[in-house]
Structure 1
């Protein structure tokens, strides 16, 4: 282990154990040869074998967090007193960990119990991975242990004190909803009773079923963070307008939630869309759980919502930057290339392409500086944006070169689009009469049967260059100097 990774291991904020499980793998091989097939049943029938497994695990290294957590001076002290750490009520979970390895998994996880060397009980979350390159021998296994004692204590307190639970619910920093899904369960069972086997197909054929289920959500309680998140005056006003919260873009997410419920998944996590009462979208990370003891009727469901709108906006902005030109606001070359490939596969045909080049940009840069040239390019962007509407697109594909992709547009439609572009350009020049006038070289082409998109763009490009040559001849410019 080099110095950098050694430092990272040593200073990690969670307990890390590097162990050798190769003897355990050998023991498992022996047991398989002896005819053992169900490890869980075997270990429960012979509990002394669990201790035999534990003795096979050799600790190679632990970090400082581990020593601190378990109250050990060093690895030698910890290793010599492992019988104090692994005991009592961790038996069943240890069997589950061993069973996961027996089943061929290279990683396992569990929620279990350990003890410090001073006898304090620790609730822990354990995750382990056989390190790459050691899958055949199990000679290097990395375990990460998180101390969840405080969390477990909180959960026990919630179960024993209804008053405290209500307070934690009310003042939780995340939005909490206590809901009754009894009506939804009844609707799903009715569909199941009709002999429906593929519920997803059923929802595709009957989208109104999703709406019916949305209307069956009965909200029992919400907390103050929910009132704040959805911009309501109080609980009463929000609960009276849940139809404004659960609508539109939420439906496909809710349909997936129903599919999971159909398949018996009573704990779910997903990113969904809700709406605040002012109509603004609220992107949330949803965690849904039918509460224990209510699995038969779904009459108590806890939903937690974490507002991830800021992250979604940041992701959308990064996606926008990846497909748009920052100067003009038009699509960029990356989008143009992807769109050409998409149109090549899917059409719709005929497709027309218009290639546009800004004449004399070098002259503008020489006379007014690059700020002046950038201003001209932004004006071209304004013109091209107004010249197209969906599904047509305008892209900046080079420094002063632009392209319009016009699906489902024949030669006559393309000609009209170019005429509109010229009219918009004239209006822009008129509006900016005190500034440099924009001159564009425009070339266009419409697809013929069997023509590749690359050839179509090339034809439009050649027509643009012909127009550009005519412009320079007319102006008496030498293009090598302009």
Structure 2
């Protein structure tokens, strides 16, 4: 693997993420795949296992672009270069088969992959890890940007190994584990599933589509045998009895579909499962959790003892949500940014029949430079935030408001003709007037332009027409003290 720099505007959030994150370039792997496909290879797993050199060729084709601080601390590396030159120490032994599995998932056309494998720290310590990879949106055709997350599950896997050696020691781990652990009896669930199978049902997914009540019946058959202290802490329960009496408050809403998928996996013989789920603490707090389900050894025939491990990944999910927010929103005004505005225009073009006519409003904030020069950038930022407040109140979906430049805003109004656009402009003027009543130190004013799409007119041209009108209004704002709001080609609010 080789390294090259990457520009990441969200570097801070990336570095602060609570899980190990890697940004990698798989484009050369994709080129290798295309070469092998042209040579007639159809079973990539057999092809790779037949010659380990091919796996190494794929591995060496992957370029690591960036890792976060959690990655460096997890593997005990000083910096990216230190990690890069030591990759042979990190990925060895057990990683071969898992890497083949990851490559096979990409070969099959998936844009995401996962594996369970073993890595090592630079000090030689074993790490059991859960790896998830995803081709980032916009790079599906090139694989130039792939996000890899690595979760350290060494403790859980060590507990599994020790369980076979010492039952008492396993109980100690259960009681004091930093992960929420549940021991449950799924015997009633197995009996219900066996009854359905005996009736000749072959497609369990279709069966649960038709008989949604079966899923609820299975859920009611689960008996919780024990939970550990971390579980009580995670869900905010003072004791086990309170927790068990409140299960309907914990497992609700989004849990139904997840449990159905869990039943389908059990139907298909997967006695170890993992998936991300949503539960709720007793105070109503939403918890994002990594659920790991396993039928305990010796209970495969009746499922009378299963272990459920819940890892709190709420912080990670919030970080992911914030990164997604940064990709589509302007942080200062909290409205959409230019990238989202452009994407929305493209979506409108593709949905012409369901969105046209479209009216576009372009608004430019008056006096921003003067505010910055005379009173500092804090004053200018305050004006921009006020503009964001006004535009947030102006329209609702499916309309879109975005900050498309330093002091420039745009409004997309689908299914809105010129008359409707004028109505929105009138509302905008009222909102600005109302806003100025609360902020008497600096008046908020805007120069605006508006245009409505004609038949077969590209929205890009509509934006240009609105922008030209806005520029005329802007010129009039600075040249003429008197401004006529009734003019269609020169508007100032």
User: Shift of the alpha carbon at 1:465?
Assistant: 2.8
Show the counterpart of 1:73.
none
Deviations 1:198-242 (A, max 9, x none): 444554555555444433332221111000001111111011111
Measured in 1, the distance between the counterparts of 2:272 and 2:242 equals 29
1:172 aligns with 2:172: no
Looking at structure 1, the residues matched to 308 and 328 of structure 2 have their Cα atoms a distance apart, in angstroms, of 36
- How many residues align? The count is 349
**The one of 432, 449, 470 aligned to 1:464:** 470
- Residue 297 (1) aligns with residue 308 (2): no
Alignment pair present for 1:444 and 2:450: yes
What does residue 334 of structure 2 align with? 329
Q: Over residues 344-401 of structure 1, what are the superposed CA-to-partner deviations in whole Å (9 max), with x where a residue is unaligned?
A: 3346413433221112323333332333222211111111111122333321110111
What is the CA–CA distance in structure 2 between the aligned matches of 1:420 and 1:427, rounded to whole Å? 10
Q: Over the residues paired in the alignment, what is the CA RMSD in angstroms?
A: 4.0
| SS in structure 1 of the partner of residue 444 of structure 2 | coil
Matches within 5 A, 1:376-391: 376-391=383-398
TM-score where L is the length of structure 1: 0.63
- Distance in 1 between residues matched to 2:286 and 2:384, nearest whole Å: 34
Measure, in 2, the Cα distance between the counterparts of 1:448 and 1:150.
Answer: 64
Query: How far did 1:454 drift?
Result: 2.3
Aligned pairs for 1:333-344 (under 5 A) are 333-344=338-349
Question: Could you tell me how far 1:325 is from its partner in structure 2?
Answer: 1.2
Residue aligned with 1:468, SS? helix
CA gap 1:187/1:316 in 2 versus in 1, 3 angstroms: same
Counterparts in 2 of 1:28-107, with a 5 A limit? none
- The CA deviation at 1:466 is 3.5
Match of 1:404 in 2: 411
1:276 to 277, 281, 284: 281
Q: Which string of whole-angstrom CA distances, capped at 9 and with x for unpartnered residues, describes residues 70-104 of structure 1?
A: xxxxxxxxxxxxxxxxxxxxxxx99x98xx99xx9
The residue that corresponds to 2:247 in the other structure is 242
**CA separation of 1:462/1:367 partners in 2, compared to 1, >3 Å: closer, same or farther?**
same
Whole-angstrom CA distance in 2 between matches of 1:474 and 1:236: 75
Structure 1: distance between partners of 2:154 and 2:284: 42
Greater mean alpha carbon deviation, residues 383-392 or residues 211-220: 211-220
Partner residue of 2:38?
A: none
1:176–1:305 Cα contact (<8 Å) kept: yes
Q: In 1, Cα distance between the equivalents of 2:373 and 2:463?
A: 30
Matched position secondary structure for 2:480: helix
Q: Cα offset for 1:422?
A: 1.3
Q: CA deviation at 1:266?
A: 1.3
**Kept after mapping to 1: 8 A contact 2:159/2:170:** no
2:187 matches 1:182: yes
SS of the residue corresponding to residue 285 of structure 1 reads strand
- 2:355 partner SS: coil
Assess, with a 3 A threshold, how the Cα gap between structure 1 residues 383 and 261 changes in structure 2: closer, same or farther.
same
- Alignment of 1:319 with 2:288, yes or no, is no
Structure 1: runs of 5+ lacking an equivalent: 3-38, 40-92, 112-122, 127-147, 478-482
Contact 1:177–1:222 at 8 Å: present in 2 too? yes
Note the residue ranges of structure 2 that are not aligned, 5 or more in a row.
3-45, 47-92, 106-114, 119-125, 130-152, 484-493
